[in-house]
């Protein structure tokens, strides 16, 4: 007899895979290549989460847990699934995101109205784009960050040479590689949050809420999106300001040895519904 919990898990896995497979098929990734990626994910997850702490990562142990043959497990253990360019892309995205968030959230870089100020690239005194990067983005050069933000349309150079922030979030709308990067990181964070809430041994339940209606008129949706864009952005900026006050990259005086990563995301989705549903 099939365990009802297992049956529901299988149904949920198929449901969450459908949009991923749709993206894969549109970009030429068919079943064989997708299956190879799944095998790689099984091996990496087993190595990270299912081996005895301090124990030896044996091929036999990985094969037993994943159900793969020892030959396949051995081959996949030797496969590097994270090419060097992925690490470079991740660092570029993180740094650009941090600079934009800090420009929006750090009062030091605001004008008299409390909005992000137009900044000179460098300045002998007072805030500048270079000092913003130095304060919030580590050892990367200000010019490299500026080039990236100009490229994605987040920053505009005024005639007097000052730099104006024209997007309050780092959104690489024209760069498909970075969009695909966010597909991996953002969806993984959401699923990891839900996985934590499914774990009976978890000490903390993560916040997980949504609101949904399935009989809305199409003409209402633009109004809903505008409402979400304004209020959602305001909430994210408030959270960003609070989190940045505790960020050890900024608050150097923190002596805590426990490093944590936390993220909060807001998303929206709509689709047409068959009248017979």
**By 3-state DSSP, what share of the chain in percent is helix, strand and coil, each rounded to 5?**
55, 5, 40
Both 70 and 91 in one domain: the answer is no
pLDDT tens per residue across span 127-178: 999 999 988 876 788 998 999 899 888 899 999 999 999 988 887 766 788 8
Both 71 and 99 in one domain: the answer is no
Q: pLDDT value at position 121? A: 95
Residue 75 falls inside a structural domain = yes
Q: pLDDT value at position 5? A: 73
Both 62 and 95 in one domain: the answer is no
Residue 268 falls inside a structural domain = no
3-state secondary structure of 165: strand
Both 57 and 95 in one domain: the answer is no
Percent residues over pLDDT 70 in the chain: 88
Mean pLDDT of 64-74: 93
Residue 46 falls inside a structural domain = yes
d(CA 266, CA 256): 29
Tell me: pLDDT of 276 over 90.
Answer: no
Place 96 in a pLDDT band, splitting at 50, 70 and 90. confident
Name the residue with higher pLDDT: 59 or 83: 59
d(CA 51, CA 83): 24
Both 124 and 69 in one domain: the answer is no
Both 50 and 99 in one domain: the answer is no
Residue 58 falls inside a structural domain = yes
Q: pLDDT value at position 53? A: 67
Token pair, residue 68, equals 């793969």
Q: pLDDT value at position 51? A: 80
- Where a domain ends, among 44, 64, 81? 81
Residue 272 falls inside a structural domain = no
Both 14 and 62 in one domain: the answer is yes
Highest average pLDDT, of 50-54, 88-92, 195-199, 248-252, comes from: 195-199
Residue 182 falls inside a structural domain = no
DSSP state of 68: -
Both 99 and 113 in one domain: the answer is yes
Tell me: pLDDT of 81 over 80.
Answer: no
The answer to whether the predicted template modeling score (pTM) of the entire model surpasses 0.85 is no
Both 63 and 93 in one domain: the answer is no
- Where a domain ends, among 27, 55, 81? 81
Q: Which residues, in sequence order, are CB contacts of 81 under 8 Å at separation 6+? A: 37, 40, 44
Mean pLDDT of 235-246: 87
Q: pLDDT value at position 94? A: 77
Q: How far is CA 153 from the centre of its chain?
A: 20
Q: pLDDT value at position 85? A: 55
Name the residue with higher pLDDT: 27 or 90: 27
Average pLDDT, the chain: 87
Both 23 and 70 in one domain: the answer is yes
Out of 122-136, 208-222, 242-256, pick the least confident. 242-256
What domain count does the chain have?
A: 2
Both 76 and 150 in one domain: the answer is no
Q: 90: domain range?
A: 84-165
Q: pLDDT value at position 140? A: 80
Q: Which residues, in sequence order, are CB contacts of 61 under 8 Å at separation 6+? A: 51, 55
Tell me: pLDDT of 244 over 90.
Answer: no
Q: pLDDT value at position 162? A: 94
Residue 59 falls inside a structural domain = yes
Q: pLDDT value at position 225? A: 97
Place 250 in a pLDDT band, splitting at 50, 70 and 90. low
- Where a domain ends, among 81, 102, 120? 81
Mean pLDDT of 68-82: 85
d(CA 170, CA 120): 20
Tell me: pLDDT of 9 over 80.
Answer: yes
Place 86 in a pLDDT band, splitting at 50, 70 and 90. low
Q: pLDDT value at position 274? A: 83
Both 126 and 55 in one domain: the answer is no
Q: pLDDT value at position 200? A: 93
């Amino acid at each position: 007899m099939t365990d009802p919990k297992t049956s529901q898990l299988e149904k949920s896995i198929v449901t969450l895979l459908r949009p991923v497979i749709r993206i894969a098929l549109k970009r030429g990734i068919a079943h064989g290549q997708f299956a190879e990626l799944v095998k790689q994910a099984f091996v990496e997850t087993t190595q990270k989460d299912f081996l005895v702490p301090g124990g030896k990562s044996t091929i036999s142990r990985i094969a037993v847990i994943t159900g793969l043959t020892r030959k396949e497990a051995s081959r996949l253990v030797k496969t590097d699934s994270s090419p060097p360019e992925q690490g470079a892309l991740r660092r570029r995205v993180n740094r650009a995101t941090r600079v934009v968030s800090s420009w929006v959230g750090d009062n030091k870089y605001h004008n008299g109205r409390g909005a992000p100020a137009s900044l000179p690239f460098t300045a002998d005194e007072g805030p500048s784009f270079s000092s913003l990067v130095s304060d919030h983005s580590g050892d990367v050069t200000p010019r490299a960050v500026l080039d990236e933000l100009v490229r994605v349309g987040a920053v505009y150079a005024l005639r007097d040479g000052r730099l104006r922030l024209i997007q309050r979030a780092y959104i690489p709308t024209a760069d498909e590689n970075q969009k695909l990067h966010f597909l991996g990181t953002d969806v993984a964070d959401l699923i990891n949050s839900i996985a934590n809430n499914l774990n009976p041994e978890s000490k903390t339940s993560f916040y997980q809420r949504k609101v949904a209606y399935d009989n809305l008129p199409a003409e209402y949706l633009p109004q809903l999106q505008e409402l979400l864009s304004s209020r959602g952005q305001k909430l994210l900026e408030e959270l960003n300001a609070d989190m940045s006050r505790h960020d050890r990259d900024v608050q150097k005086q923190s002596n805590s040895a426990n490093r944590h990563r936390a993220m909060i995301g807001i998303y929206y989705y709509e689709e047409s519904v068959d009248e017979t549903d």
